[in-house]
Amino acid sequence: MSTFQRPRRAWLHRSKGERFWRVRWHGLDGKRRERSTGESEKRYAERVLRDVEAEMRREEEEARARAADPAAFARIEQAKRPIGAHLEEYLAHVETSARSRKHVQALRRNLESLVRSTGAERLAELSAEAVARCMQAMREPRHVDGEEKPGLSARSANELRKAAASFGAWLVRAGRWESNPLKYAPRLDEARDRRRPRREISTEEVARLLDVTAGTTRRAWYACAIYAALRRSEIERLAWRDVDFERGVLAIRGGKARAYDEVPLAEALAAELLAIRPKGALPLARVFVSSPTNRRRCYDFERAGIALEDDAGEHADVHSLRATCSSMLLRAGVPVPLVQKILRHASPATTLAHYSKLRIEDSARALASLPSFAMPKSTSLEALATGTEDRCPPSAPSDLRRRALSGASTCPPVLGAIGGASQEHDGSKSKSEPELTRSCAPLHPPARGGAVLRTVGIEPTTRCLKGSCSAD
């Protein structure tokens, strides 16, 4: 038996009768390991030995990194795994968080589309730029059966961005990413690319809708959307235990955010639900055994004279009834935070942006409620604009007040130059300046400090003092 041992912890070994050299070394755990080189010549076996030594050095570096920063080492290990494994674990986590199957399917569809479009195989290949490129590709026109069709809307692209940002946030919480770069992908403006805008259903149309469905459970079904602003899925899950007629409260379980909410039970809605409540109804029994299909809903709307699409291209559907409820509350003067609470929105911006269908008539009624600040008829606009309404102050002598009330002028019409005489416009006899000053003494007290009166502007009674006066 011949043994060729090298320094460090790896060496070549070949037993008697063996053809190939073997590499032996001690791992970090102290156990001896062995690997065949597949080479009978020592010089070629040394190549395999050098590869083993490189692997040992990498193990030592990883061990030092694990001891220095365990979280960073865990992220390095997770980065080596394929991205598909991370996706499956994330979707399994979403399913266990009581999310609906429809929500999980939408997440899977968007994330698989992102991975397929970017061609990413590892987490390091995902970035905000990759998400933005995928969103742009979704917006491009498509050719189906030789026909060009428009790309997806901005809202669909934003849904993909939202799914990617949620996936990145989960990676950070799970310790697989240090930060989430996917949340920095730019968001598209949905207001400029609304493919199916909804409109408000007027109160007259709502009344006709309830009339044409009288005598059926669909009337109470529509009333839940009108008087409680319930979504379609919330109406379908509504049970009799959720309707508290004594307290006047309607409980909503498993809503859009999977939270428990309570909304007041309107008297009109309570009457509709009492009319369809069967005798001996179990608490867990559904209020509505079935919901109207989209075809039945269109039939009811047509019978009520509700246009499914108006001239402006806005559509009317079941969700439009929520906008109707919000608009009626806002017209009634209900504060926006209270409307937001009834509709169970996370932000009042959502309520104002998508569920407040106020018209120009509503703005006109709001402006008409302002108090009136009408101008007195005795004062002209020109007098108020220049401040020369020729009113006599209350401190003036009684004879001057009588002259002002009788319409006579209390002061001469025009003043001449400083130190000169005053003349009438029509060239009549002039008065001397001392006499003029005496006639206006009550209205214009004599100046102090040697200042004299001078003419300003073209108004007869507008004067100021040339020179400064000391303050009292």
Helices (DSSP H) in 344-394: which residue ranges?
A: 348-354, 360-368, 381-386
> Of the given ranges (99-103, 117-121, 173-177, 438-442), which has the lowest mean pLDDT?
438-442
pLDDT of residue 296: 94
**In sequence order, what are the beta bridge partners of 243?**
250
For residue range 55-111, what is the model confidence (pLDDT) as tens digits?
888 888 877 777 777 888 788 888 889 999 999 999 999 988 766 788 889 999 999
pLDDT at residue 394 greater than cutoff 70: no
Read off φ and ψ for residue 246, nearest 5 degrees.
-70, -45
SS3 41: coil
| Residues 23-52, mean pLDDT to the nearest whole number | 87
Q: How confident is the model at residue 365 (pLDDT cuts 50, 70, 90)?
A: confident
pLDDT of residue 468: 45
SS3 389: coil
* Percentage of residues in the chain having pLDDT higher than 90: 38
For 381, other C-beta atoms within 10 Å of its C-beta total: 8
Count Cα neighbours of 345 within 13 Å in the Cβ-side half-sphere.
Answer: 20
pLDDT of residue 33: 87
pLDDT of residue 371: 84
pLDDT of residue 424: 43
pLDDT of residue 316: 92
pLDDT of residue 377: 59
pLDDT at residue 440 greater than cutoff 80: no
pLDDT of residue 208: 95
For residue range 449-472, what is the model confidence (pLDDT) as tens digits?
454 555 555 555 555 554 444 444
Token digits of residue 161 = 């961005």
Q: How confident is the model at residue 5 (pLDDT cuts 50, 70, 90)?
A: very low
| Residues 299-308, mean pLDDT to the nearest whole number | 94
Q: How far apart are CA 322 and CA 30, in angstroms?
A: 70
Q: How confident is the model at residue 437 (pLDDT cuts 50, 70, 90)?
A: very low
For residue range 191-232, what is the model confidence (pLDDT) as tens digits?
788 888 888 899 999 999 999 999 999 999 999 999 999 999
Identity of the highest mean pLDDT range in 147-151, 177-181, 363-367, 412-416: 177-181
Q: How confident is the model at residue 268 (pLDDT cuts 50, 70, 90)?
A: very high
Amino acid occupying residue 310:
D
Greatest CA separation for the chain: 150
pLDDT of residue 429: 45
**In sequence order, what are the beta bridge partners of 463?**
455
Mean pLDDT of all residues in the chain?
80
The residue ranges of every structural domain in the chain are 2-68, 78-142+149-192, 203-367, 388-472
pLDDT of residue 436: 41
User: 332: exposed, middle or buried (C-beta count within 10 Å: 0-12, 13-18, 19+)?
Assistant: exposed
> What is the four-CA torsion angle of 21, 11, 56, 37, rounded to 10 degrees?
0
Q: How far apart are CA 345 and CA 27, in angstroms?
A: 59
pLDDT of residue 141: 87
For residue range 129-182, what is the model confidence (pLDDT) as tens digits?
999 999 999 888 887 777 888 888 999 999 999 999 999 999 999 999 999 999
> Of the given ranges (34-38, 79-83, 281-285, 377-381), which has the lowest mean pLDDT?
377-381
pLDDT of residue 388: 53
Q: How confident is the model at residue 372 (pLDDT cuts 50, 70, 90)?
A: confident
Nearest to 233 by CA among 241, 225, 242, 245: 225
pLDDT of residue 4: 42
SS3 35: strand
pLDDT of residue 399: 56
Q: How confident is the model at residue 434 (pLDDT cuts 50, 70, 90)?
A: very low
pLDDT of residue 98: 61
Let me know: does 269 contact 223? Beta carbons within 8 Å.
yes
CATH of region 203-367 = 1.10.443.10
pLDDT of residue 57: 87
Q: How far apart are CA 57 and CA 160, in angstroms?
A: 42
Identity of the highest mean pLDDT range in 173-187, 409-423, 429-443: 173-187
pLDDT of residue 76: 82
| Cα radius of gyration (the chain) | 43
Question: For the domain 78-142+149-192, what is the CATH superfamily, name and number?
Answer: Tyrosine recombinase, N-terminal domain (1.10.150.130)
pLDDT of residue 194: 80
> Of the given ranges (319-328, 357-366, 385-394), which has the lowest mean pLDDT?
385-394
pLDDT of residue 217: 94
Which region holds residue 437: left if phi is over 0, alpha if psi is between -120 and 50, else beta? alpha
pLDDT of residue 446: 52
pLDDT at residue 278 greater than cutoff 60: yes
pLDDT of residue 245: 93
pLDDT at residue 418 greater than cutoff 50: no
Which of 65 and 334 is assigned the larger pLDDT?
334
